[in-house]
Homo-oligomer: A and B are copies of this chain.
Amino acid sequence: MTDRRPEFQGEQFEKGLQIRREVLGDAYVDRSIAAADDVSAPLQKLLTEWCWGEIWSRPGLERRMRSVLNLGMLMALNRSDEFKLHVRGALNNGVTREEIVEIILQGAIYCGAPASLDALRSAKAVFAEIDAATTQVSQR
């Protein structure tokens, strides 16, 4: 960690990074930290501290709930990259694939069919990536 960028330091950043790792996985977070440059570092820093260090670390709502909430907001907001990321996060937090399908079905009623169909495509893509990675590992 000695070679980490100077703004990627401090108690609040470490706290956020730890939770971010637990939810999104080490591989993703390591790539994200390594890829940071002068353009992306300020946003990375703030979101790690605020989103992960503050909001996701609050004890008032269990992580599984936070994942369900996020999938709903991201489906409604039409942000498929973040939605995909939080499909992984939801699985890591104990939301099952079947529950993710239920979330998307409920989205059809409240966000409309196109939002639901886009979310389903994203979820299927993530499930396929995970299955492909699992197969590779098990075939070694």
Contact = CB atoms under 8 A, between A and B. Distances in A.
A11 interface: no
Contact of A107 (B73, B102, B111, B115): B73
Interface string A100-123: 011111111111111111101101
A43 B102 CA distance: 9
The oligomer's copy count stands at 6
A90 to B, nearest CB: 11
Counting contact residues on chain A (CB < 8 A from B), the size range is: 35 or more
A120 to B, nearest CB: 6
Interface string A74-114: 11111101100000000000000111011111111111111
A116 to B, nearest CB: 6
19 contacts: A39-B101, A39-B120, A40-B124, A46-B50, A46-B54, A47-B109, A47-B117, A51-B109, A55-B108, A60-B102, A66-B106, A68-B72, A69-B103, A70-B106, A71-B72, A73-B107, A74-B110, A77-B115, A78-B78
